[in-house]
């Protein structure tokens, strides 16, 4: 699916587009963008590349970036969604293969007025950071609630066998760290102040 802002009068032309958002694009949509702007559209394999050297490149004054974004909402699993950004002086291209409320919110916000490609990019990053902060905050609350259930002494008898075993294991962990060879931090000193000669 291809969407562009600002929306052209005929609803199809990309000539005045400042931000083009491609979601699981067809070859026709990819070709339309490449013809309109003379920039290449990264494919799914390129956007999914995990090598850090492939994540950020500059070609002819255009920045090509890829990132695995967590765009889950609510109780959805945190599955990285490969996403590509192509930022030039005249246009921002976003390429992704799953829908996201983050991009939809920015699109709605920017549809009201004029903007530059760099502003669209910054707005997307801000929305992504806010979204991740919300996810982390919700997860922190969930973990806090779970720890209260597992570690409260009055709940021990009501825990399932598996949860009771997990509780026992977690309670033992600090003791193992103090025993030297069983350190949990894989060779890290027992305290930050400890120095080995």
12: domain CATH number?
3.30.460.20
pLDDT at position 188, please?
35
Residue 26 lies in a domain: yes
CA nearest neighbour of 121 among 95, 93, 100? 93
Per-residue tokens: 33: 């963008």
Mutual orientation of helices 117-151 and 161-177 as an angle, nearest 10°? 100
pLDDT at position 31, please?
92
Counted domains in the chain:
1
pTM exceeding 0.85? no
Cβ(35)–Cβ(47) below 8 Å = no
Query: Given its phi and psi angles, is residue 184 left (phi above 0), alpha (psi -120 to 50 degrees) or beta?
Result: alpha
Q: Say which residue the tokens 């973990």 belong to.
A: 143
Give me the domain span that covers residue 107: 2-133
Residue 194 lies in a domain: no
Residue 35 lies in a domain: yes
Q: Name the stretches of the chain with pLDDT < 50.
A: 175-197
Residue 155 lies in a domain: no
pLDDT at position 56, please?
83
Residue 151 lies in a domain: no
CA nearest neighbour of 98 among 126, 127, 72, 122? 72
- Beta strands per DSSP E along the chain: 2-5, 19-23, 56-59, 62-70, 80-87, 92-96
In DSSP terms, 23 is beta-bridged to 96
Q: Say which residue the tokens 């309670």 belong to.
A: 171
pLDDT at position 116, please?
92
């Amino acid at each position: 699916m291809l969407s562009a802002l600002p929306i052209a009068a005929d609803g199809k032309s990309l000539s005045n587009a400042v931000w083009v958002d491609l979601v699981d694009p067809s070859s026709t949509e990819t070709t339309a963008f490449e013809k309109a702007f003379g920039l290449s559209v990264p494919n799914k394999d390129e956007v999914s590349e995990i090598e850090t050297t492939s994540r950020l490149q500059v070609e002819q004054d255009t920045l090509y970036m890829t990132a695995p974004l967590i765009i889950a909402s609510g109780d959805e699993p945190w599955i990285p969604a490969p996403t590509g950004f192509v930022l030039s002086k005249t246009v921002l291209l976003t390429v992704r293969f799953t829908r996201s409320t983050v991009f939809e919110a920015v699109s709605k916000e920017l549809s009201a007025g004029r903007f530059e490609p760099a502003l669209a990019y910054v707005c997307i990053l801000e929305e992504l950071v806010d979204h991740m902060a919300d996810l982390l905050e919700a997860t922190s609350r969930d973990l806090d609630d779970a720890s209260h259930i597992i570690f409260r002494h009055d709940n021990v008898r009501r825990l399932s066998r598996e949860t009771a075993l997990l509780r026992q294991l977690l309670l033992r962990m600090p003791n193992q760290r103090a025993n030297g060879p069983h350190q949990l931090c894989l060779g890290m000193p027992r305290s930050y102040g400890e120095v080995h000669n």
